[in-house]
């Protein structure tokens, strides 16, 4: 028997094929495909030093075990490492590698140490300005690794890891990935405390250079204190390293499931905004002054964001490159009162947005901008 298929049948099959590909592509948009695991320190940089161990060796073993478990339990996720052996990797190269690999998540693994031997516990960090002196000291110690680099004063634009004033830059940083970083950090901290019964030192913020330029959600976890005799033994034990690695991977699996489930829901809904905000056309198409203006910053990143329009869809999103950050803003105006009005509307879409001021292509303090505004009137 010969079956003849008409042109309509072929057209139907073709359309079904195209629509299927489109559906798959749409579903893949929110998927986590690649994780970058960063073993802190290495080579000539030992990191923290315990009575009988180096931080660099512990972080490498835990990092490799985390990667092995992800490959085993979540085989559809690609795992990449900033280092897989005892070598020195510059901080800037770590974030660049993660960006080049187009990773969807960055996990930096570390161990802590202080003078007081009784101090103990686990803490997980996301990028931000330190809120305590202790957090600043931890960030200073971790960032001091750049002093092993010959040209660090040039490469890091004069940043001095031992000078508290250098950390003011982190107060001006608003990461596009803050929410997801915080979510993952919370899960990691929860799983680590649950499995190890160690002291919970909570999720915190600090100015880590290794997190500054990664264009993805990122955390830095301090697994314990090498200065504490009991914790040093645990951190060096194979059982302890496996337990901590397994906790991080359990947190990753939970995070991945939540992110991809939410992405699927948003995809079906056909929008990324839960609330429609009505904005006049004249505000959507704001003409940006080139010399001096205020604006509402909605995001910043170390690398260019591919689709900035999605950051705040009801407004026209503009980009400015200041220092080593790409900043994305809306509602540009030369009046502080006008930009405050925009801030209220933008916060209905991007809760963590804030006002910035730009003069001759550089960020300036709001107080300084107010003085410039007075002179322009």
- Closest Cα to residue 201, out of 175, 224, 171? 224
Digit-coded pLDDT (tens) for 310-363: 778 778 888 888 776 788 899 998 889 999 998 888 888 877 688 888 888 888
Alpha carbon 288 to its chain centroid, in Å, reads 28
- CATH code reported for the domain at 281-376: 3.30.70.1070
For the domain 31-265, what is the CATH superfamily, name and number? Zn-dependent exopeptidases (3.40.630.40)
Report percent pLDDT > 90 for the chain.
Answer: 38
Is the pLDDT confidence value at 251 over 70? yes
Digit-coded pLDDT (tens) for 91-102: 888 989 998 999
Q: Where are the domains of the chain?
A: 31-265, 281-376
Range 25-43 average pLDDT? 79
Mean pLDDT taken over the chain: 78
pTM of the model: 0.62
Q: Which region, left, alpha or beta, applies to residue 217 given φ > 0 means left and ψ of -120 to 50 means alpha?
A: beta
| Residues contacting residue 213 through CB under 8 Å, at least 6 positions apart | 92, 95, 96, 99, 302, 303, 324
User: What pLDDT score does 212 carry?
Assistant: 75
Could you tell me the two tokens for 177?
Answer: 């990935």
How far, CA to CA in Å, does 254 sit from each of 52, 179, 186, 201, 251? 35, 16, 11, 21, 5
Digit-coded pLDDT (tens) for 271-320: 333 333 344 444 444 444 458 889 998 887 766 776 787 778 778 888 88
């Amino acid at each position: 028997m010969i079956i003849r298929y008409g042109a309509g049948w072929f057209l139907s099959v073709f359309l079904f094929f195209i629509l299927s590909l489109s559906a798959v592509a749409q579903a893949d948009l929110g998927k986590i495909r690649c994780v970058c695991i960063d073993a802190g320190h290495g080579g000539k940089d030992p990191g923290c030093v315990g009575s009988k161990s180096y931080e660099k060796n512990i972080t490498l073993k835990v990092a490799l075990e985390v990667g092995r478990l992800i490959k085993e339990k979540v085989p559809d996720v690609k795992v990449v490492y900033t280092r897989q052996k005892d070598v020195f990797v510059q901080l800037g190269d770590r974030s660049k590698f993660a960006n080049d690999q187009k990773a969807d998540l960055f996990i930096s693994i570390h161990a802590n140490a202080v003078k007081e031997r009784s101090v103990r516990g686990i803490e997980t960090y996301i990028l931000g300005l330190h809120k305590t002196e202790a957090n600043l000291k931890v960030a200073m110690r971790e960032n001091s690794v750049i002093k092993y680099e010959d040209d660090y004063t040039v490469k890091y634009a004069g940043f001095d890891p031992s000078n508290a004033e250098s950390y003011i830059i982190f107060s001006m940083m608003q990461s596009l990935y803050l929410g997801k970083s915080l979510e993952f950090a919370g899960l990691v901290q929860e799983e680590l405390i649950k499995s190890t019964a160690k002291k919970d030192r909570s999720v915190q913020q600090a100015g880590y250079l290794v997190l500054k330029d990664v264009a993805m959600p990122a955390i830095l976890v301090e697994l314990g204190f090498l200065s504490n005799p009991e914790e040093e033994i645990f951190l060096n034990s194979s059982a302890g390293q496996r337990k901590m690695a397994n906790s991080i991977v359990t947190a990753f699996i939970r995070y991945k499931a939540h992110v991809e489930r939410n992405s699927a829901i948003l995809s079906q809904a056909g929008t990324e905004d839960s609330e429609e905000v009505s904005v006049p056309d004249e505000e959507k198409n704001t003409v940006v002054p080139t010399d001096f203006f205020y604006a509402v910053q909605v995001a910043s990143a170390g690398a260019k964001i591919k689709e900035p329009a999605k950051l705040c869809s009801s407004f026209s999103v503009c980009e400015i490159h200041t220092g080593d950050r790409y900043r994305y803003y809306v509602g540009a105006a030369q009046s502080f009162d006008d930009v405050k009005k925009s801030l209220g509307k933008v916060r209905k879409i991007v809760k963590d947005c804030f006002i910035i001021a730009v003069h001759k292509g550089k960020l300036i303090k709001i107080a300084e901008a107010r003085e410039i505004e007075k002179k322009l009137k």
